Amino acid sequence: MAFSPNAATVFADGPISIPHQPSKLDIRNLLGSYETTMTNAQKPLVIVASGQSNFARISSSSTWEVPDNLKVWNNYDLTLATPSFTVTTGTAFVTPPSGRGNAAIAFAAEAARDNPTRPVYLIVVARGGTPIANWLPSAPAPDMYAAIQNSVSAALSALGLSAIDVFLWWQGENDAAAPSNYLTNFNELVTQRLQIESWFPIQTPIVIYGIVGDAVNSNPVYAGFEQYLRACANHDPDFRMYVNTPRLPVAYWDDTLHPTGEGYRWLGRQAWQSFSKGVGQAHYYGEGTWTPTLQFGAASVGMTYANRQGVYARIGKLYVAQARITLTAKGSSTGFAVIQGLPGGNILEPVRSINCSRYLNMASLSGGIAGFAIGGQVQLYTHGAASVSVLTQANFTDTSDLWVTAIYTSTY
């Protein structure tokens, strides 16, 4: 019998079938999805930035280019090195000049480059040398929050929009010396001022920049303040994100508080890339430095160091912190030996493993050295086969040398 191709035999994998014909509902849904995608691609992105001098000052950079789709509210003069952001409310969005910018403009510029069909609008209200009190209810003059209200309301009215999309915050240098109430104050700013505004939906993401670290500024109050800014971000990790400013390389700092123009670009790229992947700290990875302090009986009178260095890495709330402490004099204080200054907040159970991997020039030890964490400090002890004894000044000499590693979970 001769083979005769037909509809049932022409394809080896079976009979031919008519391709699927989309229904009217399929076509309508496809067009709706396309329309939504195109609308989002062209929807304005409105960014509000507030804080101190790193949002207020303008730095030069020969490689700074302004995307065509970026506009900045004209409540200040971008031609000035240190413009006054609180004098006027502003009247219109303008194109910022090339070759000049700051941390807020750098973030907005990265957003504009990533979304070339989407107009990006930036509103900045910032002032150098100003504590957080000026943003809170019953604020002293100048009332920074009133300035935000005035500029944002006018800018949104000019755009015909009703809400902002992102809030940037770089502030804290003036609060670093007395930070104990900073988290409470920041939450008050968010919940009692920003979130009561119709233009600030409760889901509005907040990007919180860190301040200078100890690699650039030797004043310990600045490095110590980082944990309070991290706490502000971790307080609401679904809608707040921390920017690890201390990671900015030393070469990108103009002085001990302010990055260069290229430094602002570096931070803008880092912040936008992290933000665009999703706000939140649940899977946050960060690195930094910390300054370990050895104490006997909660004091360190007369103690001096040859080495006093600390580094850490974290994933979410899990920290791995390392330190080296080398003494040149143990001083006159007496009591239990503790190491202060661990990064993060209070140590949480159950992970609080402290290991002293190497030690030299110690005295009267009955075994190896280990430790456990209480609050933000490490209490050191020596352990033998059958007993454990806390370390005191008697176990140290003027040349003691310790390498310590701590693995723990923290409140932030």
What percentage of the chain has pLDDT greater than the value 70?
80
Query: Which residue pairs, CB below 8 angstroms and at least 24 apart, start in 269-275?
Result: 269/106, 269/110, 270/243, 270/244, 271/103, 271/107, 271/110, 271/168, 271/207, 271/209, 271/243, 272/107, 272/110, 272/111, 272/114, 273/110, 274/241, 274/243, 275/107, 275/166, 275/205, 275/207, 275/241
Give the pLDDT confidence score for residue 8 in this predicted structure: 44
Tokens of 67: 């995307």
What percentage of the chain has pLDDT greater than the value 90?
42
What average pLDDT does range 61-86 have in this prediction? 75
More confidently predicted of 357 and 264: 264
Give the pLDDT confidence score for residue 3 in this predicted structure: 42
Q: Distance from CA of residue 127 to its chain's centroid?
A: 20
- The confidence band for 79, taking pLDDT boundaries of 50, 70 and 90, is low
The yes-or-no verdict on residue 326 having pLDDT over 90 is yes
Tokens of 185: 């104050």
For the segment 193-245, what is each residue's pLDDT rounded down to a tens digit?
A: 999 999 999 889 999 999 998 889 999 899 889 889 999 998 888 788 899 99
- The confidence band for 116, taking pLDDT boundaries of 50, 70 and 90, is confident
What average pLDDT does range 248-265 have in this prediction? 92
The residues, any chain, with a CB within 8 Å of residue 234's CB and separated by 6 or more, are: 240, 242, 281, 317, 411, 412
The yes-or-no verdict on residue 63 having pLDDT over 90 is no
More confidently predicted of 62 and 191: 191
Q: What is the mean pLDDT of the chain?
A: 82
Give the pLDDT confidence score for residue 2 in this predicted structure: 47
Helix (H) or strand (E) holding 158: helix 144-159
More confidently predicted of 365 and 327: 327
Give the pLDDT confidence score for residue 5 in this predicted structure: 46
The yes-or-no verdict on residue 308 having pLDDT over 80 is yes
The yes-or-no verdict on residue 375 having pLDDT over 90 is no
Q: Which of 35-44, 150-159, 292-301 has the lowest mean pLDDT?
A: 35-44
Tokens of 177: 């010396």
- The confidence band for 87, taking pLDDT boundaries of 50, 70 and 90, is low
**pTM surpassing 0.85?**
no
